[in-house]
Every structure is written in structure tokens, then in C-alpha cells.
Amino acid sequence: MSTLRIGTRGSQLALWQANTVKALLAGRGHQAELIIIKTTGDRLSEQNLSESGGKRLFVKEIEEALLRREVDLAVHSAKDMPAELARGLTVAAALPREDPRDALVLPAGHAAHGLAFSDAVAQLGGRPVIGTGSIRRVAQLRAMLPNARFEPVRGNVDTRLRKLDGAAGKGGEYDALILAAAGLRRLGLGERISALVPIEICIPAPGQGTIAVEIREDDEATRSRVVALTDEDTAMALEAERTLVAKLGGGCQLPLGGIALPTADGQLQLSAVVISADGAQVLRRSATGEMTVPYAIGGRVAKMLLEAGAAAILDEVRGG
């Protein structure tokens, strides 16, 4: 049986994800190797995503390699994937989801671990500088931090933490960062999480915490080898969240959050928010349905948001 070629970015987190998939495949008797592909997003590491093209920057070259049959599968953070995949490609597997919440990270000098979010916020002072490049996070957190100044921060996780902590004898550029808890934990940096941001305060990005495996639609040989990696609850949640984004016309960075979670009685609940960039307009909607029809749940919540005026908010952010 041929060795599977896994396309991945070369960042520390991307390699962790790709090596995890490689190890899972090896555990089922399938050999694989990593093919590192530099994406446009990597080359534009210091630019704000909302100004340079959005999510496709991190997958474009990898998807092109898939379509040229230079790799057999690609491993992504699902939140980095655009709502509409390139023609001929599909998500074939979703690994069990890590904690999807955002995390508040304080500088190393006084970064207590496991605080309540309100207690961590109390340590920030009156006019903190918060590092995040996410419109979604800024729009939702303004309500809790009305006097904060939000500044973009790019680079890999280590680079961002250095910018937060500063050099010896010098303070950092930020008073706190907002990062995905999943990425910190996967890199062994869970102790840097000062507080988790409650979902009621900041709904995560669709797909956050999920590793997705992308293949060519017609590649049944690869599909047969990766499908066993799928966690069904995660896959259903991801489909609901991606349907939500697609129905709302997502494709670039938008002030849109969406999280689908299984309920105690085995159904799937999708909660979503669309919020204006200044935080003045907030639309929250949710729906619960059968786990087997996640696309219907995603479509229903998108319809409720559109009926409430979400299109105008999103068009303003897009510049439309």
C-alpha cells in the first residue's frame, strides 16, 4: 500500500496537527509522510488578515497541491478553512474536538492560571491593550472591556507570547492576548491560559478546536483510510457550523461566531452571533435539532439571523 502524502503548513501548531493525523494513521497500519507547503498567509505573517484576504490565505496553496495530486490529504485547523472549498475537494474526517473556547492570556510575570474570566479582567487595569487580530473577538469583547484598545497581533504562538511578555527588563507590547485555548493546549502551553472566555461572552469561531482532513472528492482510496479518524459528534458539529457560515456568505474575516454542541438528550444545539464591528448591534440566535441533519440546523440559524438583519451588518464589514 502506498505512503500517504499529508500536505500541511510548517508552523509549530500545523505540524502538531499533521503529526497527530500521521500517528493515528500509523496506528491503523497506514504509512504517511508530511509535505510542508508555505501558504500566502505564512508569507504575510505580519499583516492583518481582514486587510489581506481572509481565511483562504492559509489553505490556497495546499488545496492547489491536492488538486495537482502532489499530496493525498491536507490537515487544517477547521476555523482556517473557507466556507466554500475549492471545487473537487471535501472534508473527509474531523478529529475529536479540543476545547473550542477563546482564552485570555496575561503576561508571564503575573499570569495566574485558571482564573474566572471576570477576575482575570480585573487584573488588566483601566485602559488595557489587548492583542487580537480577530474582528469576531473584538466585536464581542468590547461589551466586557469598553475601555480596552484592541491591536492586531500576528505570528506563531511563541512569537505572540514574546510580544506579550516582553524582553528582560522591558514590558511587552500588550497587556493581554486573546488566543484559541485549543492551540495553546496542543502546544503544551495550557498553563499560559489565565482564564477561559465563557461562550456566553464570546462565541468561538466556527470550527474552532477542530482538526479537519481534506481530500479530493474522487479519491476513494484515501477516503477509506482516513474516514476511521472521524469523531461523529465533532463532524456533525462542524457541518452545522460550516453550513451557517456558507449561508451567511462567509469567506473573509467576519464578526461571526458559531458553536454547535451536543445536548444531554443526544441532539445538536447551534448558537451563533453576528455583531457590528463597534459592538453596537448584536444578533444572537440558536436552534436545536437532530444530530443527523446538521446542515438543516445550520441553515435554520442562518435564516433566523438573516431575517433579523445580519446581512446588513456583514455587508458593512465586507465594505459592500
| CATH number of the domain within which 117 lies | 3.40.190.10
Residue 80 annotated among the catalytic residues of the structure: yes
Q: Are residues 115 and 256 in the same domain?
A: no
Domain count, the chain: 3
Catalytic annotation, pick one of 80, 102, 165, 175: 80
pLDDT in tens, 164-183: 998 766 779 999 999 999 99
Q: What integer pLDDT is reported at residue 48 of this predicted model?
A: 52
Which of helix, strand or coil describes residue 34?
Answer: strand
Q: Are residues 90 and 214 in the same domain?
A: yes
In a domain, 63, yes or no: yes
Q: Are residues 131 and 82 in the same domain?
A: no
Q: What integer pLDDT is reported at residue 251 of this predicted model?
A: 57
Q: Are residues 60 and 127 in the same domain?
A: no
In a domain, 204, yes or no: no
In a domain, 203, yes or no: no
**Which of the pair, 285 or 48, is modelled with greater confidence?**
285
36-44 mean pLDDT: 77
Question: Residue 220 — φ and ψ, nearest 5°?
Answer: -70, -30
Q: pLDDT category, 52, cuts 50, 70, 90?
A: very low
Helices (H), the chain: 12-27, 40-43, 49-52, 60-67, 117-122, 135-141, 157-165, 181-186, 220-226, 232-247, 294-307, 310-318
In a domain, 28, yes or no: yes
Q: Is the pLDDT of residue 135 over 70?
A: yes
| CA-wise closest residue to 226 among 74, 97, 15, 11 | 74
Q: Are residues 81 and 118 in the same domain?
A: no
In a domain, 248, yes or no: yes
Q: What integer pLDDT is reported at residue 50 of this predicted model?
A: 47
Q: What is the DSSP letter of 311?
A: H
Calculate Rg over the CA atoms of the chain.
19
pLDDT in tens, 71-117: 999 999 999 998 889 999 999 999 999 999 999 999 997 767 889 99
- Give the residue carrying C-alpha cell 492551540: 183
Q: Are residues 214 and 290 in the same domain?
A: no
Q: Are residues 123 and 66 in the same domain?
A: no
What's the CA gap between 154 and 48, in Å, rounded?
7
Task: State in Å, rounded, how far the first CA of the chain is from the last one.
Answer: 50
Domain containing 5 equals 1-95+210-230
Could you tell me the CATH number of the domain that includes residue 280?
3.30.160.40
